[in-house]
Amino acid sequence: MEVGLSAAFTLPVRVYYEDTDAGGVVYHANYLRFMERARSEWLSHLKLEHGPLAAEHDTLFVVRAAQIEYLRPARLSDLLQVEVAIRQIRRSAIVFAQHIRCGEHLLVTGEITVVAVSASRFRPCAVPPPVLAALQPWLPPA
């Protein structure tokens, strides 16, 4: 996974006691929660709310794959920056590149693939045109 990321969106996240394990560091699965939160907040910022997408376009997004690399631990009270960028958009999938930093230190890198599925049938479907239009300016150069 790449070290540099030109993030389209960054969400600050404070590490709380509930996020840590017995060793006082962020429990590994919680980094996925932080990444999910950042993707959801970015979509909300772009006026792409999950509820209306399901109601108006019969579309949900589900995680199909997650590749995570843990480089350094985050600790209680750290202020993290959770970055999101688009790596690729396919007919029914969006691949996100995500980084989690604490100050200048890169802690975690990830590549998360989400798939558009019909809310009524839970079968893959095309990414809706309004989503494509909103994300188009954030696509990496070809």
6: pLDDT confidence band, cut at 50, 70 and 90? confident
Task: Identify the pLDDT of residue 4.
Answer: 57
**Is 57 domain-assigned?**
yes
Average pLDDT, the chain: 93
**Is 41 domain-assigned?**
yes
Task: Identify the pLDDT of residue 1.
Answer: 40
The token pair that represents 99 in the structure block: 């980084």
- Is the Cβ–Cβ distance between 94 and 61 less than 8 Å? yes
Look up the domain containing 79 and give its range.
9-138
* Residue 58 is among the residues annotated as catalytic for this protein: no
| Active-site residue (options: 19, 21, 58, 78) | 21
**Is 1 domain-assigned?**
no
**Is 116 domain-assigned?**
yes
Query: Domain total for the chain?
Result: 1
- Looking at the predicted structure, is the pLDDT value of residue 2 above 80? no
Which of 1-5, 31-35, 124-128 comes out lowest in average pLDDT? 1-5
**Nearest CA among 66, 50, 46 for reference residue 58:** 50
- Give me the residue label for tokens 């109601």: 55
- Is the Cβ–Cβ distance between 74 and 100 less than 8 Å? yes
**Is 48 domain-assigned?**
yes
Over range 39-67, report the average pLDDT. Answer: 94
CATH number, residue 65? 3.10.129.10
